[in-house]
Amino acid sequence: MSASYRDVLTAAERISGRVHRTPVLTSTLLDDAAGASLYFKCEHLQKVGAFKARGAVNAVFSLDESVIKQGFATHSSGNHGAALARAAQLRQAPAYIVVPSNAPQVKQDAIAAYGAEIILCEPTLPDREATLAAVIERTGAVAVHPYDDPRVIAGQGTAALELIEQVAGLDVIVVPVGGGLLAGTCLVAEQVGVNVIAAEPAGADDAYRSLVSGRRVTEHMPNTICDGLQTTLGARNFDIIQPRLEQVMVMDDSATIEAMRLIWSRMKQVVEPSAAIALAAVMQYPARFAGQRVGLMLTGGNVDLEKLPFDREHE
């Protein structure tokens, strides 16, 4: 089963009142620097500090009470785990979150704050999936995949639905490559004739390689500061994205860090690298966006303030 535009509309009704309708911010200074009109969808101001709240709430509240007694389980580097933990808490059900051992402590703390059980694993996708399978066998919990789930895709798509409503006449939306949000955005943008461009770290460029080859890359060893963008595309994500996405722009971490610095300093918004990569793409490829109305998804703001990246070049 895949997700559709109609599923996004249903999700918007289901999650209303349970997540924020986040604002859109602009910056004259950044517009001038980019040579375009930029509209930042502020999902870093969402519940749990990330757009992931949308998909988790939609998934959890789409299930009957009889199904959820054993709780919910997933694997996550942080934001989806916190989002699922919160959604489970809203339904008074337990949550079990498999977390790679190298996940930022600030994100592990957020998961724990919502009362979930954290199960650490090695930081590879096979280890994440194997550990999750063991947790589900032990607990009987319902699995909610962080991105390759039609309910999650539909929920994430509501961020683009809001953006389209808030800003008329967008030409293009730039989305960090994770999977669920990009797929959901493609479903919405297709309905209104808006192009979608993905921004992806060079150290985790499976989506780029998948789109170029026409075959989904299922294994890689990510090496990027964008901890939220390290997983590979899911099968459902790839099927939705492949015919609808204009292109994937691959970014070095240095460009993402500089974009993060600009958002912090010019807009006074605390975003994580996985969000700042959208601005990095616009700044690195100005000819593609010149004179256009550009929506950018600021996907999350859960930054470890003890490990800011701005001075890494001086280490």
pLDDT digits (tens, 9 = 90+) for 12-30: 999 999 999 999 999 999 9
Mean pLDDT, residues 52-62 taken together: 97
pLDDT(122) > 80: yes
| Residue 199 confidence (pLDDT) | 98
CA distance 164 to 178: 20
Q: Quick one: 149 exposed, middle or buried, by C-beta within 10 A (0-12, 13-18, 19+)?
A: buried
pLDDT digits (tens, 9 = 90+) for 215-261: 999 887 889 999 888 888 999 999 999 999 999 999 999 999 999 99
| Residue 314 confidence (pLDDT) | 35
| Residue 126 confidence (pLDDT) | 87
- Judged by DSSP in three states, 278 sits in helix
Strands 24-25 and 37-42: antiparallel
pTM: 0.93
Say if residues 309 and 257 touch (Cβ distance below 8 Å).
yes
The radius of gyration computed from the CA coordinates of the chain, to the nearest angstrom, equals 18
Render the burial of 100-119: b for 16+ CB within 10 Å, e for the rest: beebbebbbebbbebebbbb
Number of DSSP helices (H) and strands (E) in the chain, helices first: 13, 10
Greater pLDDT, 7 or 232: 7
| Residue 311 confidence (pLDDT) | 64
pLDDT band at 304 (very low <50, low <70, confident <90, very high): confident
- Judged by DSSP in three states, 179 sits in coil
| Residue 313 confidence (pLDDT) | 47
Residue with tokens 């996907």: 299
CA distance 293 to 88: 38
